[in-house]
Amino acid sequence: MSEPLVIVGNGMAAARLVDELAKTSLGRYAVAVIGDEPRLAYNRVLLSSVLAGETGSHEIELRPADWWRHRGVTVRYGYRVTEIDTGRRELKIEGEESMEYSKLVLATGSTPLRLNVPGADLAGVHTFRDTRDVDLLLTLAAAKKRVVVVGGGLLGLEAAYGLAKAGAPVTLLHLMDRLMERQLDGPAADLLKTLVERKGIRILLNASTKCIHGDGHVEAVELADGSRIEADAVIFAAGIRPNIALAKDAGIAVNRGIVVNDVMQTASPDIFALGECAEHRGTCYGLVEPAYEQARVLARHLAGRPAAYQGSVVSTNLKVSGVSVFSAGDFIGGEGSESLVLSDRRRGTYKKLVIADGRLTGAVLIGDTVDALWYLELIRNRDKVAAIRTDMMFGRALARPSKAA
């Protein structure tokens, strides 16, 4: 008799966990996946491509219905879990009968932050997080509505690019002095700003949103310096918050995220968490790759095999507003480190490698990211790079051990 294993959340983390479980313990568990979005799991990273008209909404689906069925997985999408009864090992589902579990995995993801400013509740204020948001934003763009995007991180830049490509006049506001300050150093962020502005997006840095004006509907955004930007819509894309409500209400330990150990286990022994909702050793990862690494560890653990998640070397490797961007490790560099920089603003490229103790410890690439995965491998493996130091800036193909090394 297969053990009932229920995954709450039908996103990228859940899909990867099912994939990994199929490799390690097929038949051991009767797997059910419950998600409140009204469709099968999809690649959230590609939402801006759908918004920009570069990809069809159906094309971002991670797996077809047959894939889930052939693995014996019951998928219930469009259903919301309202309560976890840890004593009875039971989930309460809105408008449905309860569901029992032997093992429970929380992959509830995160929700977009909404700024607590006057006018934030006006009609015309939206977020950018799922396919339902994309449908709404496409309607705005088609009507050539003036849009203000609040947030100059990954989410904000992706929303701004998609809207601009779809035909909307876009102004992007960012509180900090540079775009993507968590992923880029100053020169890289400055080049990215130039490249994004070339795509017709107006960018204002050091821009603190004071309030949103409108009589029932958005009419303008006022900044702390008193300036005013006319707008028909405002998109909040200034970060995410882990979805911890279900766990918290069930008495499971939470901080910013749902607290887990090295096998992704919560304080309740038969309940696990992974992805954006999980907090491991004080860190919540809002990126895809750590969730995939966590899924691998959890699948092995559930199969009775030894496994331990040690944390992730965080990297960003994607197109941001149509510009190739990569960053990983300690790309700022501290005392005793050395930075190798190659910049060509005319070509729209920037490359910075940080070396410390003879190893590559960080990297930032803009425009040309062909060797991104090689640099990431060097960082993760902590390989000594003295022998290729002279040429490594020019990529893997040209990096040859020097005779002096």
DSSP string of 264-301, one letter each residue: SB-SSTTEEE-GGGEEETTB---SHHHHHHHHHHHHHH
- Chunk the chain into consecutive blocks of 10 residues (it has 405) and report each block's average pLDDT, rounded to whole numbers: 94 96 90 94 92 92 94 94 97 93 97 94 95 93 95 93 93 97 96 96 98 97 98 95 97 98 97 98 94 98 96 89 92 91 95 96 96 95 92 88 50
| Structure token pair of residue 356 | 């410390």
Put simply, whether the predicted model's pTM sits higher than 0.85 gets the answer yes
Residues contacting residue 335 through CB under 8 Å, at least 6 positions apart:
none
pLDDT at site 108: 97
Task: Match 């062909």 to its residue by tokens.
Answer: 370
What pLDDT, on a 0 to 100 scale, did the predictor assign at position 190? 97
Question: One fold for both 3-111+240-302 and 125-236?
Answer: yes
Integer Cα distance of 68 and 177 in angstroms: 45
d(CA 145, CA 219): 11
Looking at residue 404, its pLDDT comes to 44
| C-alpha distance from residue 384 to each of 314, 356, 375, 392 (Å) | 20, 10, 12, 12
pLDDT at 274: 98
Question: Sign of torsion, CA 331 332 334 339?
Answer: positive
pLDDT score at 401: 64
pLDDT for res 402: 52
Q: Are 39 and 13 in contact (CB under 8 A)?
A: no
Q: Looking at the DSSP assignment, which residues form a beta bridge with residue 328?
A: 315, 363
Q: Where are the alpha helices (DSSP H) in 180-233?
A: 186-197
Tell which CATH classification among 3.40.50.10800, 3.50.50.60, 3.40.50.720, 3.40.50.300 matches the domain 3-111+240-302.
Answer: 3.50.50.60
Other CB atoms within a 10 A radius of the CB of residue 269 amount to 9
Spans of all domains in the chain:
3-111+240-302, 125-236, 330-394
Residue 303: predicted pLDDT? 96
CA–CA dist 153, 241 (Å, integer): 14
pLDDT at 96: 86
pLDDT of residue 41: 94
Q: What is the CATH number of domain 125-236?
A: 3.50.50.60
Distance between CA atoms of 33 and 11, rounded to whole angstroms?
A: 10
